[in-house]
Structure 1
Amino acid sequence: MTATTTAPPRAVPHGAGAPRAAAVDLTGTGTLLRFVLRRDRVRLAVWTGSVTALYAYFVTALSALYTTAEERQSRAALMGSPVSTLMGGPGYGLDDYTIGAMLSNELIGWVAIAVALLGVLQVVRTTRAEEESGRAELVRAGAVGRHAPAAAAFLAVLIADVAIGLLSAAVMVGGGLAVADSLAVGLATTLVGVVFAAVGVVVAQLTEHARAATGLGVAVLGAAYMARALGDMQQTHGSWLSWTSPVGWAQQMRAFVDLRWWPLALHVALVAVLLVVGTLLASRRDVGAGLLATRPGRADAARTLRSPFALAWRQQRVALLWWTLGLGLLWTASGTYVEGVEEMFAEVSRTNPELLALFGGRDQLVGGFVAVMMLFGMLLAAGYGIAAVLRARSEESAGRLEPVLGLPVSRTRWFAAQVGVAALGTAVLAVTTGGTIWLGAVLVGVGDPGPGTFVTAVLVYLPGLAVYLALTAALYAWVPRAAAPLPWVLLTLGFVVGVFGPLLDVPDGVAAVDPFDAVPRVPIEDVTAGPLLALTALAAALAVLAVVGFRRRDLPAV
């Protein structure tokens, strides 16, 4: 009798065995992709429509504003300064500044930030955030491969980016720009977004928490943009540092000036590398775990965490820090323009006097420039405030609110803490805007307007900012599903009315909807108490309405 023995399976180290023998497992990718597209169809459509509308608006508005070569060259003189290079692009085509050259030099970098954020946020939301919530483990219990969730997330962003690229190219061609160059810009827009979707796949493997993964992805984007900006400042048309950035590659195509296609191959190669790295990293970790070790926390909460306000502050402080640093650098750079405002617009005042309406007229260019910069800053501060208030909605939808309210914490106290931290952060950004614009002017030796003017400008905007926050809170309290889109629509209207109202002849009834329309444009307009008191009363009424609504409705309702 012969006995046959089977050797026991070899022990496999934790997290390192199966992936070495198994191929990439994409089982269920198609099903997950359809689910992601269905669930996020509104979100992706808004991103697609917004970027496309930005291209359409840029082409239409600049074509109307700069109708002659002289007018376009006056803008080229402005864009040739180092600060403009830092904020815009490498400066191709400044010697013959066409509308297409303006788009390529000034807009591609900002659109790249938008599509890059879409890539990082969407991929992390669909992968790491799902793992953190525990839903991914339930999905993986079915016929779903290890790599299918990341593949579905990446493909969803790819589809959105392709739509953005094609629609953007279409509106450029419709605006009279060259077909080949328009297609190149659209393709570059698509590939920048795809690169950062692949970045999202990688960072989602590294940490246990979606917030940390998003932070890493945004940090990579910030480094890429600064590499482009500093590289372009080092040398005319960019230095070697510019070529380390995917954002720089898109602008180095020289669209509408001297088109070259080959930089797009760099995007394709980087996407391939990042996807391979992301796949390998995903094969070497457990579901729900990250490859980077998490620092152990305290056994007991610190005393500073034992209140709803402290908890809300801890959740939002990092975002506020990055917003403050980013906007501080932006407005300091913008403040340096105060020194040469009159010279910059000397040619514009002769060739295109209508454009001066944006800055209050020929006799108050410096004050008008400061007023426009303050408006930009306050619109961004309002955007932060809206996002911060909506953080409460995220806490509720994620199921973290009900355990908190199970403690001796009232609804009103928790809600007031969330809105209070958002209001505090918004006020910090408002002060940062005024202070850093003034600092930029001082750095180049300009002492007028003085600090008192900027203090006044910040103070008069606070009631308008309060209206934005209180309205968002009221919508969240009464109609949670409308809390996300409606405040952003109002903010977009405020941008159009505030910046281009004098040129577009916006009806008074439409302009009155904008909370900032009642705010005096310091220093070119006198401050009157009536409109500011009315905004304050409106904000207070909306705040009371928000508290009442939140106390009355069921939880969760989002």
Structure 2
Amino acid sequence: MTAVAQTTALASSRRGARPLAGTGTLVRLALRRDRLMLPIWVVVIGAMVVSGVGSLQTLYDTAAKRAQLAESMSANSSLRSLYGPVFDDSIGGLVAWRFATFAAVLAAVMSLIIVVRHTREEEETGRQELISSAMVGRRAPLTAALLTAVIANTAVALLITAGLSGQGVSGALALGLAVGGTGVLFATTAAIVAQLTESARTAKGMTAGVLGLAFVLRAAGDASTVDGSSVLTWLSPIGWAENVRAFGGERWWVILLIAAAGGVQGVIAYTLAGRRDVGMSFLPTRPGPTEGKLTTAGGLAWRLQRGTLLGWAGGFLLAGIVFGGMASGAADMVGDNEQATEIFRRMGGQSALTDAFLAAMVGMFGLIAALYAVGSVLRMHGEETSQRAEPVLANAVGRTAWAAGHLAVAFGGTVLVMLLAGAGLALGHGGDLPAITGAALSQVPAVWTLAGVALLLYGAVPRAAAAGWAVAGLCLALGWVGPALDLPRAVLDLSPFGHLPKLPGPRMDWPPVLLLTALAVALVAAGLAAFRRRDLQT
């Protein structure tokens, strides 16, 4: 234990009667640090749900059309696995069916980022030792992080409730609480994981893995039943949010179940936090070899990022197989409903419906791959702020060579994960492997463009590097819900993905692919030039 950590532990023991001292100050600090990120998350999640009202009212303007939609969607197991069953065919019920699951997932992602950022990341960078040496209680940092997550999720719940109250106050409140409650539940999950690992990156990855498992369990459970009563659905917190049944005969006791689970996890997190030293964890990092074998900057970058890349690659392959198996039933998913067919065609082009479904899935994988690429590029920012980059660059390693190693993993990794996603889709669908993998690879230039934006922000304005996540999140939101909401073409074109050809389809449109590739190259060149000119952060 370091001298500072020993002093911190001694000071904490003396303040045993005040374990939460300084919590209010830390909450204000967290809100100030996240004053840009939190409003963006809250508005995106809330607006995504609320804006569905107008779109659904336009597409399904009669009770007969809504009843037909509910019947056709609930009857298809593939679509239930994506969105869950329809519990009510009112506008509010259809909004809950279409957006509740994904809003709950986004709230969970927001919460895990908040909690890990203000707990494990603070300890990893050494800032927590400095803060804890003052009059700060032992459990104040964890409490402040959780309160920040609660504030953000409360804002989401209020926005959803207010925006949907015209469809029924009871249903709007139930949906808001379901989404916000799920976010708080995963905040406590992240709080537990933050006690287990020494790395903020690993903590985020592990919590995201739990979230992914919850989504898969819910999807498998909903595919097997039409009323959300499967055991697998009830094993998933995402399934709990769905089974609140907003606008469909609300089950308020499920809200209490979510709250109880969050409370239990919170107690576990507080117990673990009280039994370890600042900077330590219950799953310590495995020590490396006595003599290092890395001889290049590229080898170091691969060693740091290989676990993340392999995890993404395996996940994309498995997800591709699952969604590829749904492609054959794409026509059955929408039946004779022209509006639903048009949504899929807007997502996937004007080709045959099966190809349109595959193109929509390819586009979804591209949007998600952008998160990998941005995170991989911003790993350099983490290495710099944690002062691990400076000793490397102090030796015979140039800045360009050091950055090139990380960029090779980010850009080459994007090709790998998209290639495996395409291969998975082809295997699951039993279709044309070259055509589907080619379609997946056509998304790469757009992903590279967003990675280039992240690099330019990191190189030119390192304090704003996190804005790369906001750009990727905006593109994800546009691509995810934009077609369903029938947003104007000019809005959809704000995302580089809006300019790509819809493949597999009748033809390949090369100019936008080549232009986006050239733009990505220009962004990388500008980012590297800016990085070479500035001082390292201290």
Shorter-chain TM-score bucket reads 0.7 to 0.9
What is the CA–CA distance in structure 2 between the aligned matches of 1:223 and 1:536, rounded to whole Å?
34
Whether 1:381 and 2:364 are equivalent positions in the alignment is no
Stretch deviating more after TM superposition (20-29 or 34-43): 20-29
Q: How does 1:94-493 map to 2 (within 5 A)?
A: 97-173=89-165, 176-236=166-226, 237-301=228-292, 303=293, 305-349=294-338, 355=343, 357-358=345-346, 364-442=352-430, 447=431, 450-485=432-467, 488-489=470-471, 492-493=474-475
* Shift in CA distance, 306/86, structure 1 to aligned 2, threshold 3 Å: farther
Read off the aligned partner of 2:302 and give its amino acid letter: W
* Shift in CA distance, 214/505, structure 1 to aligned 2, threshold 3 Å: closer
What is the CA–CA distance in structure 2 between the aligned matches of 1:422 and 1:199, rounded to whole Å?
28
3-state secondary structure, aligned to 2:19: coil
Read off the aligned partner of 1:520 and give its amino acid letter: P
Whether 1:500 and 2:478 are equivalent positions in the alignment is no
What is the CA–CA distance in structure 1 between the aligned matches of 2:370 and 2:138, rounded to whole Å?
41
Q: CA deviation at 1:105?
A: 3.0
- For residues 444-470 of structure 1, give each alpha carbon's deviation from its aligned partner in whole angstroms, at most 9, with x where no partner exists: xxx4xx222113323433333333333
- For residues 274-333 of structure 1, give each alpha carbon's deviation from its aligned partner in whole angstroms, at most 9, with x where no partner exists: 2222222222222222233543432122x2x33222222222222223323333333322
Read off the aligned partner of 1:37 and give its amino acid letter: L
Whether 1:556 and 2:533 are equivalent positions in the alignment is no
Unaligned runs of 5+ in 1: 1-14
Read off the aligned partner of 1:226 and give its amino acid letter: V
Whether 1:68 and 2:62 are equivalent positions in the alignment is yes
Unaligned runs of 5+ in 2: 1-8
Residue among 83, 89, 96 paired with 1:88: 83
Structure exhibiting the larger radius of gyration computed from Cα positions? 1
What is the CA–CA distance in structure 2 between the aligned matches of 1:272 and 1:523, rounded to whole Å?
47
What is the CA–CA distance in structure 2 between the aligned matches of 1:220 and 1:158, rounded to whole Å?
20
What is the CA–CA distance in structure 1 between the aligned matches of 2:343 and 2:83, rounded to whole Å?
20
Read off the aligned partner of 2:79 and give its amino acid letter: S
Stretch deviating more after TM superposition (266-275 or 67-76): 67-76
Q: CA deviation at 1:398?
A: 2.5
Contact 1:358 1:502 survives alignment (8 Å) = no
3-state secondary structure, aligned to 1:204: helix
Q: CA deviation at 1:482?
A: 4.5
Q: CA deviation at 1:185?
A: 1.0
Once the two structures are aligned, what percentage of the paired residues are identical? 38
Read off the aligned partner of 1:183 and give its amino acid letter: L
TM-score, structure 2 length as denominator?
A: 0.88
**Equivalence for 2:3:** none
Residue among 31, 37, 45 paired with 1:51: 45
Read off the aligned partner of 2:439 and give its amino acid letter: A
* Shift in CA distance, 436/71, structure 1 to aligned 2, threshold 3 Å: farther
Read off the aligned partner of 2:82 and give its amino acid letter: M
Contact 2:112 2:187 survives alignment (8 Å) = yes
Contact 1:71 1:352 survives alignment (8 Å) = no
Contact 2:78 2:329 survives alignment (8 Å) = no
Stretch deviating more after TM superposition (221-230 or 178-187): 221-230
* Shift in CA distance, 461/262, structure 1 to aligned 2, threshold 3 Å: closer
Contact 1:127 1:150 survives alignment (8 Å) = yes
3-state secondary structure, aligned to 1:266: helix
Cα RMSD of the aligned pairs, angstroms, is 3.1
3-state secondary structure, aligned to 1:287: coil
- For residues 89-139 of structure 1, give each alpha carbon's deviation from its aligned partner in whole angstroms, at most 9, with x where no partner exists: 2x242xx53332233334222222222222222212211222222221221
Q: CA deviation at 1:157?
A: 0.9
Q: CA deviation at 1:481?
A: 4.2
Read off the aligned partner of 1:80 and give its amino acid letter: A
Q: CA deviation at 1:182?
A: 0.5
3-state secondary structure, aligned to 1:402: helix
